[in-house]
Structure 1
Amino acid sequence: MLLLLSIGYTNTRNDMYYKFTQLCSYLKEKRVDAAIVESAVGQVNYIKCILKDTEENITFFNECKEFFYAYASNIIYEFISSEYEEKIIKKIVKDSYYYLENKEKTEIIKRCNSLMSGSGTFIAGGLISSISCKNSVIKKIQDYLDNNQEINIEGFVRFRLKNIMSELNVIVDKVVEDYVLEREYSEFIKLLKYFVDIQESKYEIVNIFIKDDSKYQITNEDDLDITDEFFEDFGLDTSGNMSHREDILISALITSSPLKIVIHGFENINFKESIDTLINIFGDRMILCSGCDKCKELVGLFM
């Protein structure tokens, strides 16, 4: 029998054993007579992948060798991630962000773990950092297995992954930064909603017609053009030459607090985030028109 790989670890979970069993099953489908054996010496568990020592099996295995060690490296990384990275992340959050409430810490740890597993949402800088950290660890495992058939995971983490703490620090910082910005945005939106709710509405209905260059035409409930009147306190150049038009549009809508806002020509909008902000502020008072006679008539005026 030929030893392919021996993994030592101090944990009673059998996730790795199951995954290596699947790997051996795949090799058998490729006519490689591989097997997996689990044993324990004291508190250390061992998983050993072995190969039937025949010329035919060795030949087939050599063809699958790169795949075997690449897949094995990913299995070992997943174990390290769940057993070590999660504990390090918890320690970083506890030590560096002790002033946060427990529920906030829990949420941040959850987001960090999701990001590291690849199931989290995009965070500028955080996703890149997590991918970099993951690839760095996997590369170190692969390099080690290129020269060693035996790996003790605890020793490997302690002596070969000394920089993992600093890499995870970067990821936690990015997640916290994103979380704080998200919380501040939510609080700001609540404040604007409150302001809109207590404001007296200047208009029953405001129709906003938008062309693809973000020029606006505003009409009221009587279909009268109120564009100049609507923006008179904000100095908006209605010809469309002024920058930050969407910010001024949001300010004008908040100030006038219409009972209903209808956005026409929605497909021409190039500031989707601003529309999302308006929906968060005005809720059911916001309507995105999917196409009507007014759209065809008034959007055409900009052509």
Structure 2
Amino acid sequence: MAAYQISVPGPVTSREAGQMRELLNQQAARLERSGFSCCLEEFDQGTRTVFYIQNRVAGEKSEQGLRHSLGRAVADYYLAVNEPNLIRRIITQDFHYWNPGESREIERYAYHLLDDSEAEEPSHRRRKHWMARQIAKYFCNHRDLAVDGYFQFRMKRYRDILMKLVEHAIDEYLLDQEYREFIDLLRYFVSIQQPKVPLVHVLHIGIRRFRLLDGEGRPLQMKEMDHTVEELMDQVTSHEDLIVSTLLTVAPEQVVLHTRNREENVVCTLMQVFEDRITICNGCSGCRHLKGREDGFVPKG
């Protein structure tokens, strides 16, 4: 019956050894429930902890089950211990983001991308299954595995994936920073601006479709755009920006937003820019006209 050795940096009392021990014990219990069994021992070897795993049941099926179990344990360990450290090193050493606050934010973006099932990068579950299969294949021809060395020398392709992921995360981070700065600028402009009209109703009729009404429910009459607003909105690139620029020009004392989709980007943008000047209607007689009908809107109160 074959025996395998898995080693991790640090003595048996280290956090790394404790995590690997827990994961191997979980897989051993899983094997027991499946009718198989293995013997698990551990010992210090220099500055490393070595886990010695021996199959107690003869047969290829048992060996295959053990190899897959070891693959899952090592994959879980890597995702919990090595991957976060590698992502941090890429952020600081490869892209030179040394500021702890910035690097933590970029790391958060990176994990959001990794865990996004619709993103190009592999999700946590897919990464784990892929790694577990690769490690199980490795154990078909080898009996010893140094976890850190294995991922450093045999998983270079995966490191390239993480490099591209971090680069994508940095792009997202910088775009979001620009957006926040722009929102702060617009918010400041709203705070110092003298109101020109008492109330504006914003009808969010559909995706990227809006209508502005005055307090009496009449179409809002627009004057020429304020020069300061025009300068602020030089970077208008979307319908969201257009509706914001229009409201900045009108400068209402209060805005009532009638919408069926509070999660849409434009709604979030309006709420951030106008803050205490804007409220979302909780339902009025005119809201029934939001689904495709623009005429006959009667605002609440």
Q: TM-score, normalised by structure 2?
A: 0.76
1:156 to 150, 174, 190: 150
Q: Unpaired segments of 5 or more residues in structure 1? A: 235-242
SS of alignment partner, residue 46 of structure 1: strand
Amino acid paired to 1:31: G
1:176 to 166, 170, 173: 170
Deviations 1:57-76 (A, max 9, x none): 446x82x6655433422321
2:90 to 92, 109, 115: 92
| Deviation of the 1:261 alpha carbon | 1.1
- Equivalent-residue separation in structure 2 for 1:213 and 1:270 (angstroms): 12
Deviations 1:49-108 (A, max 9, x none): 2233xxxx446x82x665543342232123334544334333322233336534212332
Compared CA separation, residues 247 and 110, structure 1 to 2 (3 A): closer
1:211 to 205, 211, 228: 205
Compared CA separation, residues 131 and 35, structure 1 to 2 (3 A): closer
Deviations 1:214-241 (A, max 9, x none): 65443222x14133x137659xxxxxxx
Question: Which residue pairs with 1:240 in the alignment?
Answer: none
- Equivalent-residue separation in structure 2 for 1:196 and 1:123 (angstroms): 37
Amino acid paired to 2:134: K
RMSD, aligned α-carbons: 3.5
Q: Check conservation: 1:4, 1:51, Cα contact below 8 A.
A: yes
| Deviation of the 1:137 alpha carbon | 4.2
Deviations 1:146-204 (A, max 9, x none): 33333222442343123444332212211111111111111110000001111111221
Question: Which residue pairs with 1:34 in the alignment?
Answer: 38
How does 1:1-303 map onto structure 2 within 5 Å?
2-12=1-11, 13-52=17-56, 57-58=57-58, 62=61, 68-98=66-96, 101-112=99-110, 114-115=111-112, 125=120, 127-128=121-122, 137-212=131-206, 215-221=209-215, 223-227=216-220, 229-230=221-222, 233=225, 245-264=239-258, 266-267=259-260, 272-296=264-288, 300=293, 302=295
- Equivalent-residue separation in structure 2 for 1:122 and 1:194 (angstroms): 37
- Equivalent-residue separation in structure 1 for 2:202 and 2:208 (angstroms): 11
| Deviation of the 1:22 alpha carbon | 1.7
Q: Check conservation: 2:198, 2:253, Cα contact below 8 A.
A: yes
Question: Which residue pairs with 1:238 in the alignment?
Answer: none
Compared CA separation, residues 90 and 270, structure 1 to 2 (3 A): closer
Q: TM-score, normalised by structure 1?
A: 0.76
- Equivalent-residue separation in structure 2 for 1:298 and 1:129 (angstroms): 38
Compared CA separation, residues 159 and 185, structure 1 to 2 (3 A): same
Q: Check conservation: 1:20, 1:72, Cα contact below 8 A.
A: yes
- Equivalent-residue separation in structure 2 for 1:216 and 1:168 (angstroms): 41
Amino acid paired to 1:94: T
Amino acid paired to 2:254: K
Amino acid paired to 2:23: K
Percent identity between the two aligned chains: 21
Q: Check conservation: 1:37, 1:48, Cα contact below 8 A.
A: yes
Q: Check conservation: 1:133, 1:168, Cα contact below 8 A.
A: no
SS of alignment partner, residue 191 of structure 2: helix
Q: Check conservation: 1:19, 1:75, Cα contact below 8 A.
A: yes
- Equivalent-residue separation in structure 1 for 2:223 and 2:124 (angstroms): 45
Deviations 1:234-269 (A, max 9, x none): 9xxxxxxxx9554322210122221211122x12x5
Q: Check conservation: 1:137, 1:161, Cα contact below 8 A.
A: no
Compared CA separation, residues 163 and 263, structure 1 to 2 (3 A): same
SS of alignment partner, residue 293 of structure 1: coil
